[in-house]
Amino acid sequence: MNIRERIEQAEKLSCSKVAQLSCNAGPREREEVKDEVRTDYMVDRDRIIHSKSFRRLKHKTQVYIKTWGDHYRTRLTHTLEVAQIAKTIGRAIGLNEDLIEAIALGHDIGHVAFAHNGEEVLDSLLPNGFKHNENSVRVLKKLERSGLGMNLTPEVLNGILYHSGFSGKGEKAYTLEGQVVKYSDKIAYVNHYIDDSIRAGLLKIEDLPATITNTLGDTHSKRIDTLVKDCIYTTLDNIEKGILEVGLSNEIEKELIALRSFLFENIYKGPILKVERDKAKFVLSQVFQYFYKNPDKLPDFYKEIAKEEGLYQGVADYISGMSDDYCLHLFNDIYVPKLVIY
C-alpha cells in the first residue's frame, strides 16, 4: 500500500458516508497514472494553485477597482477566504477537504479584469454571452498549459461550474463539497464587501439595517461565525433527514439575501462606484474592439483559437485572462500618445 492508498483509506474512516471519497473520483478526460503520494483531488488542487491563471488573480478586482490601499480584497484574497470558510464547514460536516479546496481555489479563475464589470462587457459583446463560472471551466479544460488544459476530475469541474448564483434554487453541484463552496463564496463576499466599503468610507456599520445586524451580528467575525455555524448545523440536519443538500436556515438565509440586496442597491449601484465601473467598462470594451478589428495583433495562441472557434472567442479568451493592470497597460499602449511634439 503506497502513501496515496493510505490517505484514501484514512478518508474512508474519517469522512461522512455522504462525502465524495477520493478513491471514487470520476475519470479524467485523458487517462493518467495515479500519483503515488497524492489523491486525485490533491493533484487537482496543486495544478490549480501552481497555474498562471491562479497567479493572475492577485491583480484582478474583487469589488473596488485599482485601490491603492494594502487591505482591500483582490480576487485572490477573496478566493483564499472562500477556501478557508469552505474547509471549516466541510470538516465539520465530514466532507472531503481536498475536493473542497480544489473547487474553492479554482472557482473564480475565469473572472475577467475589473470583476463583474468586465463580465458584463463580454456578456454584451459575445454572441453567446459570457459567464465567469463557465469561463473558469474553459480556462481549466482548454486554455491552461498552452491549450492542453489541466485534465481535472469531473467533481472539481462540476463544483466550479455550479458555484455561481446567490439563492439555493437552480442547478447545484452534484457533490456536497461543491455545494459547500457555493455557500462559502456568498458568505465571504457579502462580509468582505462590508469591510471594504467601510474602509473606503462609503459605509458605516450603523448604516446596516438593525434587523440584519441583530440576526447576523454587528462585526465581521460575528457575521461569519453566525453564517458558518448555521450552514453546518442546517446541513447536518438535512443529512439526518435524508436530504443531501447544503443550506442555511430560513431565517438566516432571508437576512443574508436582505444584506446582499442592501449592499447592491446602496453601494455597488451607487453613484460613486458607478463612475469607476463605467471607466472600467470603457477600457475593457475598447481593448476588445481593438483586437477584434486587428486580429493580427493577437498572440499566436489566441489566433489559433480564433481560426478554430471564431474571432469573438479568440479575442474573448485573450481579454478574459488579463489582469486589471495588464488591461490598463494595453489600453494605454494602444490609445494614449507616447510623445507630444509642440
Tens of pLDDT, residue by residue over 221-259, are: 999 999 999 999 999 999 999 999 999 999 999 999 999
Q: What is the pLDDT of residue 115?
A: 84
Local confidence band at 283 (pLDDT 50, 70, 90 cut-offs):
very high
- Residue 231 inside a domain? The answer is yes
- Residue 287 inside a domain? The answer is no
Q: What is the pLDDT of residue 135?
A: 97
What percentage of the chain carries pLDDT values higher than 70? 96
- Residue 308 inside a domain? The answer is no
**Number of domains, the chain:** 1
- Residue 311 inside a domain? The answer is no
- Residue 318 inside a domain? The answer is no
CATH number of 227's domain? 1.10.3210.10
Place of cell 472600467: 280
Mean pLDDT, range 174-202, rounded to an integer: 94
Local confidence band at 92 (pLDDT 50, 70, 90 cut-offs):
very high
Mean pLDDT, range 33-47, rounded to an integer: 98
Please give the angle made by the CA atoms of 176, 183 and 13, to the nearest 5 degrees. Answer: 30
Instruction: Answer for the pair 226, 235: CB distance below 8 angstroms, yes or no.
Output: no
Local confidence band at 70 (pLDDT 50, 70, 90 cut-offs):
confident
What average pLDDT does the structure give for the chain? Answer: 94
Instruction: Answer for the pair 47, 61: CB distance below 8 angstroms, yes or no.
Output: no
Tens of pLDDT, residue by residue over 120-169, are: 999 999 999 999 999 999 999 999 999 999 999 999 999 999 998 765 66
Tens of pLDDT, residue by residue over 290-302, are: 999 999 999 999 9
Instruction: Answer for the pair 248, 256: CB distance below 8 angstroms, yes or no.
Output: yes
Which grid coordinates belong to 196?
A: 471594504
Mean pLDDT, range 167-180, rounded to an integer: 87
- Residue 179 inside a domain? The answer is yes
Q: What is the pLDDT of residue 68?
A: 65
Q: What is the pLDDT of residue 340?
A: 62
- Residue 337 inside a domain? The answer is no
Local confidence band at 342 (pLDDT 50, 70, 90 cut-offs):
low
Mean pLDDT, range 198-222, rounded to an integer: 93
Domain boundaries, position 205 = 3-270
Q: What is the pLDDT of residue 236?
A: 98
- Residue 11 inside a domain? The answer is yes
Per-residue burial over 239-272, b if 16 or more Cβ lie within 10 Å, else e, is beeeeeebbbeeebbebbbebbebbeeebbeeee
pTM of the predicted structure, to 2 decimals: 0.95
C-alpha 51/C-alpha 150 separation (Å) is: 9
Local confidence band at 116 (pLDDT 50, 70, 90 cut-offs):
confident
